[in-house]
Chain A
Amino acid sequence: MTAPVVAARDLGPATERQVAADLVRRGLLALPVVAAVGALAWGLDGLASVALAAGLVLANFWLSAALLAWAARISLGLLMGVALFGFLLRLGLISAVVLAVADQPWLEPLPLGITLVVSHLGLLIWETRYVSASLAFPGLKPSPPEE
């Protein structure tokens, strides 16, 4: 009887980076529409608040993917630690940035809060639809890049 093979790290392609790049691309596509809604409802202050919140959400996705992809290449144990402490770090960064500008006259709290939650969830749902479809029907997956 042979001992089961247990992998200690994953040297495969960094799928998190691909998903995050997709999320950022879609976020940048949707940003003008969201910014226009913010500007129409709250004026220039709303536009600035919406842009800040959207930037925070996209940076959060990108940082999360970069940290996880880096850790997975080193060890799966490190991946566990990076996922948990990365959660704390990124939540702390978002809190620090928002609280740092909370007293600025141009900041509108309502559009900032709404954009943070809606853009995060909206982009995720958009991406999940694509990922679910490509996992269920592998034929829909984009073809690998030509070498």
Chain B
Amino acid sequence: MSLSVLAQEAAANGIDNKGLAALTYGLGAIGPGIGIGYLVGQSVQAMARQPEAAGMVRTTMFLGIAFVEALALIGFVVFFLGGA
């Protein structure tokens, strides 16, 4: 189901701005979830194969997670400013 169809359904069913903002926040959190899963999976594999490089991998992983989280944070702020 495309986003335009979702928007039309929302309009037809009387969903207000708050509902749409919450839906957008939920959809926006999917991407970072996938991103963190992929990032940590690859990092764990790297640490398991090369334990001597674990310090560097963990530093990069932590910063990567925080950068990906910024996307979810932006989604939350848009939800808060737009709908709440």
- Contacts from A to B (Cβ < 8 Å): 4-8, 10, 12-16, 19-20, 60-61, 64-65, 68, 72, 76-77, 79-80, 83-84, 87-88, 90-91, 94-95, 98-99, 102, 109-110, 112-114, 116-117, 120-121, 124, 127-128, 131, 135
Contact = CB atoms under 8 A, between A and B. Distances in A.
A77 B77 CA distance: 32
Interface residues of B, number: 34
- Central interface residue in A113, A117, A121, by most chain B CB within 10 Å: A113
Interface of B: 29, 32-33, 36-37, 40-41, 44, 47-49, 51, 54-56, 58-63, 65-67, 69-70, 72-74, 76-77, 80-81, 84
B58 A102 contact: no
Nearest to A99: B84
Nearest to B56: A135
Q: Which secondary structure characterizes the binding site on chain B? A: helix
Given A7-B48, A10-B51, A83 B73 contact: no
Contacts of B69: 60, 64, 87, 90-91, 120
Nearest to A81: B40
